[in-house]
Structure 1
Amino acid sequence: MAWAAWLVLWALWALRGWSCLRCDPGSMQLLQELTGPYLSRQLRGDPGLRERLEALLQRSIEGLAELPIGLPSYMGVIDEKTMGEAAAHFRRAVTRIMENDYKDGQLFNEMMWSLQALRESFTSLMARFQREVFCPNKCGHMVHQFIDCRACRTEIYSCNRGLYCGERRLQVQEDDDLILDCALSWHRASYGAKSYRFYRARGNSEEVMVTSPDAFLLKKEVTANDSGRYRCEMLNTKGWVCSELRFQVTVTPLPGNSTPLPMPPLLGPLTLPPSSHPTPLGGPGDWTVWIIIGSSAGLVLLLIGGCAWLFRRQREVPKEDQDSPGGQLNT
């Protein structure tokens, strides 16, 4: 039965990336059912081939833990989430095969198709693991808890970069709240409890503002005195610095914010402030006063003259009446 030999070779090639599955008890239990009762039933007519096939499948999976390490593809470790997804794919594929009564050539074809699908799925999962989970930090000291696919035990791994993670420039308006956010994208994924310490620069020295499990610092209603340099550190459970972030804060004044002028007194004589450009003696200001005075005096004199002329006119009328011819008496 040549198809059985091809099946063994295909299994050795296609299961290369599945060495970590030997650390999942559920997957190994299902594999034992596949290589034991299922193959015994399906290959009842050739017990020798069945035994060789079972032994080869078992050794292939156990020997996969010695795969060569390559940064883009496989590092010999896996996280619990990726392990769970890979094991779920494996269990679904094996269960589907065992639930059907495949024999001979049909069993060979189903096994080849399933192993190919498993290999593609695991390749995709490991690529995502290498891209997003394995040392995603561009700076700082990140701690991982991974499963060692060789020893099947959990180990602590560290990804060391430079502690300095850059500077952020913040501009906030006066009377607003200032928020210093010290969290980086990889902090949440870093293993273990974390704390954050914030500093305020004072000349050539620094003073500690606060140390807490919160990744941000809130300072309410800032003033111009809050402008300056700040710094924060992320610390691990042992108190070691894992990352450092700096801030340059500028507090801008409110629009139109200026010192108000003093209010004039409510009681007392009203006084006008002196002109910033005093009028010289004999200038336009003095002529205006004299024109007003002269006009007023002329109007008064005109009124007095008019009244005198009218009074005199009234006294002269009777005398003229007496001197006229019609006004003489006949004797």
Structure 2
Amino acid sequence: MSSTCENPDNMSWAAFLLTLLCLPTITQTCLNCDLEVKTILNNLKETYLYAHIQEHAVAEKLVNYVKAAESCFFHASLKFSGQGFIDESTLIKAAHDFKRELKRMIDTHLEGIALINTLIKLMKAQCLLLETHIKVYVQQGFCPNTCGTMLQEAISCQTCEKVDYICPQKQVCEDRRIQIGINEDLKLDCGFSWHALAKHLQEYQFFKLTQNGSAWTETLISKSKEPTLVIHRIKESDSGHYMCLLKDHQQNIISKFSYNVEVTRGVANEETIWTRLTLPPVEMHAVSRHSEKHRNIEQHITHLIILTIVGSGGGITAFILASCFMIHRRKKEAMADKEDEEDNEEEP
């Protein structure tokens, strides 16, 4: 609404009529893209105000005010984005608030000056609320890409048509230098959160770059819907330059990552180390005559095996194998003890 107009909250009837004359009009607004809002506003302008305002001339001026207020809804979209676009989610929220307040006013069946004051305050408040909704959209959802070229679906406030809005930025997103130890797993990630909002995305392509004089050769490594590439147990020969491209359905480049990978021997990879103990032979009769002593020794050795394997990276599988070995030994000892007892009973 025009800044040259007075605040309609506190003015005389004559001043209000003059205020209506200075307000501009516009034919299309963002909120009119909601068909129910458009229907309610048309009913308000064509029949409702004339039925509830006795003076026809006053009712006509109030209709002009509503039209002028609608222009505020359009300019609210221009204030922050500068483009006159809105997304579907923001439109639904703003339209819901506006329809609720309009229906509440209509259901009260106000007349005369009470209707005029209520309508003026309502339109002003809804214009400010729409500005808030669009400000949040522009700050958080409108062209969120910091690099690359993004196609984003948006609604034109002028035509109410959905369009693919182009959000251009610098094409190269990042040039990363990665230093990694030999035998480690190299992970190249070229994903951005805004990729989930972009339209017509096709695939991520990863390349190894080889320099031949002043020219570079691109060798395709992988095509995937996923934004990451993992090279397991990297070798020194894997050092060099890599590139990741995100392309759309027409093979246009959406975003680009470059990597300079240096594989060094200075960073050692953790490897699984298996420790195998060699035990001296044990005669069965010695075990039977000194079962308690040797049982304690073998249990100690078994525990040592378990701790050695687990501590060196053997993991759960090694722990289970060692536990089975201990159970087997205990069963064998029990059988030997039972045989000793039977031999002792047979002796005179």
Q: TM-score range by the shorter chain?
A: 0.5 to 0.7
Partner Cα distance (2:268, 2:158) in 1: 66
1:20 aligns with 2:30: yes
* Secondary structure, counterpart of 2:258 in structure 1: strand
1:207 aligns with 2:231: no
- Match in the other structure for 1:39: 49
- When residues 11 and 178 of structure 1 are mapped into structure 2, their CA distance, relative to the original with a 3 A threshold, is farther
Do the aligned residues in 1 keep the contact of 2:182 with 2:268 (CA within 8 Å)? no
- When residues 231 and 6 of structure 1 are mapped into structure 2, their CA distance, relative to the original with a 3 A threshold, is same
* Secondary structure, counterpart of 1:19 in structure 2: coil
1:143 aligns with 2:151: yes
- When residues 8 and 35 of structure 1 are mapped into structure 2, their CA distance, relative to the original with a 3 A threshold, is farther
Aligned counterpart for 2:229 among listed residues 217, 222, 236? 217
Partner Cα distance (2:69, 2:261) in 1: 58
Partner Cα distance (2:77, 2:99) in 1: 26
- When residues 14 and 185 of structure 1 are mapped into structure 2, their CA distance, relative to the original with a 3 A threshold, is farther
- Match in the other structure for 2:187: 179
- Match in the other structure for 1:53: 62
- Match in the other structure for 2:120: 112
**Whose radius of gyration is greater, 1 or 2?**
1
Partner Cα distance (2:23, 2:170) in 1: 40
* Secondary structure, counterpart of 1:245 in structure 2: strand
TM-score scaled to structure 2, two decimals?
A: 0.61
Partner Cα distance (1:112, 1:132) in 2: 31
* Secondary structure, counterpart of 2:194 in structure 1: coil
Do the aligned residues in 2 keep the contact of 1:147 with 1:153 (CA within 8 Å)? yes
Do the aligned residues in 2 keep the contact of 1:19 with 1:61 (CA within 8 Å)? no
Partner Cα distance (2:21, 2:238) in 1: 67
1:298-329 deviation per Cα after TM superposition (whole angstroms, max 9, x unaligned)? xxxxxxxxxxxxxxxxxxxxxxxxxxxxxxxx
Q: Identity percentage over the alignment?
A: 27
Partner Cα distance (1:83, 1:154) in 2: 12
CA deviation after TM superposition for structure 1 residue 32, in Å: 2.9
CA deviation after TM superposition for structure 1 residue 137, in Å: 2.6
Partner Cα distance (1:202, 1:133) in 2: 38
1:78 aligns with 2:89: no
1:69-104 deviation per Cα after TM superposition (whole angstroms, max 9, x unaligned)? 957454222221222222122112212212323333
Show the 5 A alignment for 1:1-331: 3=13, 6=16, 9=19, 19-36=29-46, 38-43=48-53, 45-51=54-60, 53-54=62-63, 56=64, 59-60=67-68, 72=80, 74-204=82-212, 205-253=217-265, 254-255=267-268
Amino acid at match of 1:158: I
Q: Alignment RMSD, CA only?
A: 3.7
CA deviation after TM superposition for structure 1 residue 208, in Å: 0.4
CA deviation after TM superposition for structure 1 residue 180, in Å: 1.1
Partner Cα distance (2:104, 2:183) in 1: 65
